Amino acid sequence: MNESLKIFYSDLKNSFKDLLPIVLVVAFFQIAIVRAMPENLTSIIIGLFIVAVGLALFIRGLEIGIFPIGENLATDFAKQGSIFWLLLFAFTIGFSTTVAEPALIAIADKAALISDGRVDAFWLRMTVAVSVGFAITLGTFRILVGHPIQYYIITGYIIVVLVTFFAPKEIIGLAYDSGGVTTSTVTVPLVAALGIGLSSSIKGRNPAIDGFGLIAFASLTPMIFVQVYGIIVYMGSGDASAIMIAEPVKDVIATSVHNFDWKVALMDLFGVVKDVAPILIVIFFFQYIIIKKPVAHLHKITVGIILVVLGLYAFIVGLEMGLFPIGESIAFQLTAMKNNLLIYLFSFLIGFSTTMAEPALLAIAMKAEEISEGNIQQNTLRIVVAFGVAIGIALGAYRLVSGDPIHYYIIVGYSLVIIMTYFAPKYIVPISYDSGGVTTSTVTVPLVAALGLGLAENIEGRNPLIDGFGLIAFASLFPILTVMGYGIYAQYKTTKTDSRHKP
């Protein structure tokens, strides 16, 4: 018991350290720029404490529940040698976890409202869910056959760019964003554990090189599928922006800034359970019905899953009480102030600070350090990824203010990814691809989406459907570049040190 309390205290201390950048950014803008004390200061402080406790519980639950069950399941599939059932499991876990993803539901509902029903929320969610199921299946197949990940990813990026030229402009930003909201806080650790467990069980596979990459597939394929969906939806129609009505956009933005409500909090608990339930149903169905083997250490796994649910619930409740209201309020006040430099600075700092507190990124960073045997430092990786998100959101805000078409930036960005892939060390490539998918989750998506829609609504000549979406895509793209850059620099430094020590 004492040992468990010591571990939890250590996790809690780290959680407070992770939240510190967000607190500093929000405090600076609230005091120095907005120059007003926030309402419900006590509620905000309590909310931040609850966020820290939730993050600590979540991490502990991952360690004893989600990671072990994912890796054990992958090992059992590999031993059984049934490729069909393994690929079916991969598709099912991808589809079932995505179709109920809260961030995707929120984006789909906003897209349907803003497009005046032209984009159907249900079919958009189904399109994205099928694409993620296909992605996890394809990624699992790649591990089985041992193909280098870059061949698949580069081909995918080329397809994304080609389809962009045919897709209607009203769907492009939404399609790019859909790739960033598909990987949830619970899905990421499980999918990572599946990839690492599978690559560890197959002879000739390297967990560091082959184990990562499934999340990258899940971020890439929705961009293709949603653009194709957009081509079908807008086929033969006129300029869809003509049917845009301004009032629903204001309603969407207005509902983003909310006060804490205990009824909402209870619904959040139900929502977390609902999100986790499909994952558990799929896992236990395949474990007991297909593999026909009981779960090892079921009691410990159950405790871990409960901790994940409680931790994620506390995390969301704390965000509702503390960060979301004040963060979104500052974002809207800045857009109303018409000071572009302050918008870019806020975008950069909020991108960095929220990413440092992302549970999904923390989960991947923990695994990366473990699998790479220390070659990749957990904290260093998180800082590099956060820096990439900060650059991405700031550049995305500049794009929105200037009114430039989003696809020019994305095409150049993915072209750089393709070029850097050939120079980056092999061990960093899959992790860099994955880092783009884990940065836009529980904390980042609501604030970034609110900032994008707020800018599009307040800047004259901007269309919320065309310009309001896209910031999440920038937040997913640039971490890939910064992580690869970090890998190239680390390789150069190692080579230089080795050459000095040679006689």
State the burial class of residue 154 (Cβ atoms within 10 Å of its Cβ: 0-12, 13-18, 19+): middle
Burial 209-246 (b: 16+ CB within 10 A, else e): bbbbbbbbbbbbbbbbbbbbbbeebbeeeeebeeebee
Nearest 10 degrees: Cα torsion 258, 436, 90, 373: -120
Greater confidence (314 vs 38) lies with: 314
Q: Tens digit of pLDDT for each residue in 464-483?
A: 666 777 788 888 889 999 99
The whole-number average pLDDT for the span 297-315 is: 87
pTM here? 0.78
pLDDT for res 245: 33
pLDDT bracket for residue 358 (50, 70, 90) = confident
**CA proximity to 334, closest of 488, 199, 447, 500:** 447
The whole-number average pLDDT for the span 402-406 is: 84
Query: Distance between CA 217 and CA 153 in Å, rounded?
Result: 7
Query: Distance between CA 160 and CA 129 in Å, rounded?
Result: 17
State the average pLDDT for the chain: 81
For residue 432, the Cα-to-chain-centroid distance in whole angstroms is 13
| Helices within 338-443 (DSSP H only) | 340-356, 359-371, 378-402, 406-421, 429-438
Q: Is the pLDDT of residue 257 over 60?
A: no
Q: Tens digit of pLDDT for each residue in 27-67?
A: 888 888 877 777 777 877 888 888 888 888 888 888 888 88
The whole-number average pLDDT for the span 357-378 is: 82
pLDDT for res 102: 63
For residue 328, the Cα-to-chain-centroid distance in whole angstroms is 19
Largest CA distance in the chain: 73
Greater confidence (25 vs 249) lies with: 25
The whole-number average pLDDT for the span 305-309 is: 88
pLDDT bracket for residue 184 (50, 70, 90) = low
Greater confidence (80 vs 246) lies with: 80
Q: Which residues contact 126 (CB under 8 A, 6 or more apart)?
A: 99
201 CB neighbour count, 10 Å cutoff: 17
91 CB neighbour count, 10 Å cutoff: 19
Query: Distance between CA 329 and CA 350 in Å, rounded?
Result: 13
pLDDT for res 328: 64
- And the tokens for 137? 């299946």
pLDDT bracket for residue 498 (50, 70, 90) = low
pLDDT for res 244: 38
Amino acid at 273: V
* Rama region for 101: left / alpha / beta (φ>0; ψ in -120 to 50; rest): beta
Query: Distance between CA 53 and CA 64 in Å, rounded?
Result: 17
The whole-number average pLDDT for the span 157-169 is: 87
**CA proximity to 272, closest of 307, 312, 324:** 312
pLDDT for res 139: 92
- And the tokens for 154? 């580069």
pLDDT for res 265: 65
| Helices within 146-286 (DSSP H only) | 149-164, 169-178, 187-201, 207-210, 214-233, 246-256, 262-285
Q: Tens digit of pLDDT for each residue in 203-254?
A: 888 887 888 888 889 888 999 999 999 999 887 554 444 333 333 333 333 3
Contact 209, 430 (CB under 8 A): yes
Give, as one character, the DSSP assignment of residue 374: T
pLDDT for res 478: 93
Task: Measure Cα distances from 213 to 193, 204, 248 in Å.
Answer: 11, 17, 38
Query: Distance between CA 335 and CA 344 in Å, rounded?
Result: 10
pLDDT for res 446: 65
3 CB neighbour count, 10 Å cutoff: 7
* Sole residue written with tokens 């783009």: 436
- And the tokens for 441? 């989750």
Radius of gyration (C-alpha) of the chain in whole angstroms = 22
pLDDT bracket for residue 500 (50, 70, 90) = low
